[in-house]
Amino acid sequence: AMAWRVVDARHALKRALDLGATEYRGADKTLDVPAVIGIGGSLLYFVDTYSTKGSPYGKEFDWLGEVDPNPKGVGFYYLDHLTHNVMRGNMDTWYKFYSRTFNFREIRFFNIEGKLTGLHSRALTSPCGKIRIPINESADDKSQIAEYLEQYKGEGIQHIAVATDDIYGSTEAIAARGLEFMPGPPDTYYDKSRARVKGHQEPIDRLKKHGILIDGEGVVDGGTTRILLQIFSKTVVGPIFFEFIQRKGDDGFGEGNFKALFESIEEDQIQRGVLKAS
């Protein structure tokens, strides 16, 4: 499920229903928060940003005495995007749902081909620009998207992207806590990075250490920086994984890295016996 902060949750629900969304009224709904049915039957909640009733979570949950209610983080401070995987043929259906119901617009379209498999993706953003939802569908029946749909038993969120202002420090911190990352690209990827990302001065040795990827135009227009740094965890919640991202003037999704990432996940699939190397 996802939850969006809105000015008026009941009004947001009514507007969504007027535009064709379906309200969720299941008996297992524990929070008194309006919700509509989203991708794969998952729920999309509307939560009042400024509620006189306080947080809906405060009524349902109590802090455990031994748990710190304000734990120290490692530098990730907002959700950058939530990428969804859908069945083949459903990408356009869900694009139309977000476009019609919430006035989302498309900001990117991708066709990605790895060595063995492929996918299509439409990246959407909300009118305020704060909610970004790429929607992926497989180009075949063996890709990582197809594997996800089988393991997850349906459509849903593939990965959760969280942002930091210091990807090196944040990556070191989560690695020290035991999180494992997807296999990094070969050394040639980094050898060619300065030609691909113009004028970047990112430390190659620190990029290589955990497999951080770099993308963007680089340093352009008399010194303007447009660089994106990203790294992906191995699957951690069933087939779901995390992306860790730092934006330096770049608002893309690492398009130049997609093939490298796709092939990295393919390599992971080969190591797990899901794909057979040709």
How far is the C-alpha of 12 from the C-alpha of 197, rounded, in Å? 42
Mean pLDDT along residues 206-225? 93
Kindly list the strands in the beta sheet with 224-232, ordered across the sheet, starting from the edge strand earlier in the chain.
105-113, 118-125, 132-138, 76-86, 156-164, 241-248, 224-232, 213-220
Span 158-203, pLDDT tens digits: 999 999 999 999 999 999 999 999 988 888 889 888 988 999 999 9
How far is the C-alpha of 175 from the C-alpha of 169, rounded, in Å? 10
Contact between 82 and 133 (Cβ < 8 Å): yes
Band (pLDDT 50/70/90 cuts) for residue 260 is: low
Are 84 and 34 part of one and the same domain? no
Are 13 and 129 part of one and the same domain? no
pTM for the model stands at 0.86
Element (H, E) at 76: strand 76-86
Strand partners, 132: 125
How far is the C-alpha of 255 from the C-alpha of 228, rounded, in Å? 10
> Cα 6–121–159 angle (5° rounding)?
60
3-state secondary structure of 89: coil
Range of the domain at 83: 76-271
Mean pLDDT along residues 96-105? 97
Mean pLDDT along residues 247-252? 93
Beta carbons within 10 angstroms of residue 5's beta carbon:
14
**Is residue 15 situated within a structural domain?**
yes
Band (pLDDT 50/70/90 cuts) for residue 53 is: low
Are 219 and 171 part of one and the same domain? yes
**Is residue 165 situated within a structural domain?**
yes
Are 201 and 86 part of one and the same domain? yes
Side chain identity, residue 43: L
Higher pLDDT, 114 or 15: 15
Are 49 and 104 part of one and the same domain? no
pLDDT at 197: 93
pLDDT at 114: 75
Q: Which residue has the tokens 């300065």?
A: 194
Pairing of strands 241-248, 224-232: antiparallel
How far is the C-alpha of 161 from the C-alpha of 79, rounded, in Å? 6
Are 208 and 91 part of one and the same domain? yes
Band (pLDDT 50/70/90 cuts) for residue 275 is: confident
**Quick one: tokens of 1?**
């499920």
CA 151 to centroid of chain Cα atoms: 18
**Quick one: tokens of 249?**
């003037």
Are 151 and 87 part of one and the same domain? yes
**Is residue 161 situated within a structural domain?**
yes
| Angular region, 129: left φ>0, alpha ψ -120 to 50, beta rest | left
Band (pLDDT 50/70/90 cuts) for residue 153 is: very high
Higher pLDDT, 273 or 250: 250
Element (H, E) at 124: strand 118-125
Query: What percent of the chain has pLDDT above 70?
Result: 95
Are 90 and 221 part of one and the same domain? yes
Are 121 and 239 part of one and the same domain? yes
Are 160 and 211 part of one and the same domain? yes
Q: Which residue has the tokens 């980094």?
A: 190
Contact between 252 and 108 (Cβ < 8 Å): yes
Are 142 and 261 part of one and the same domain? yes
Write a three-state SS string for 197-243.
Answer: CECCCCCHHHHHHHCCEEEEEEEECCCEEEEEEEEEECCCECCEEEE
Burial degree of 48 (CB within 10 A; 0-12, 13-18, 19+): buried
**Is residue 37 situated within a structural domain?**
yes
How many domains is the chain partitioned into structurally? 2
CATH code at 32?
A: 3.10.180.10
End position of a domain, from candidates 17, 35, 60: 60
Are 205 and 239 part of one and the same domain? yes
**Is residue 71 situated within a structural domain?**
no
* Mean pLDDT, rounded, of the chain: 90
Q: Which residue has the tokens 């290589």?
A: 208
pLDDT at 119: 87
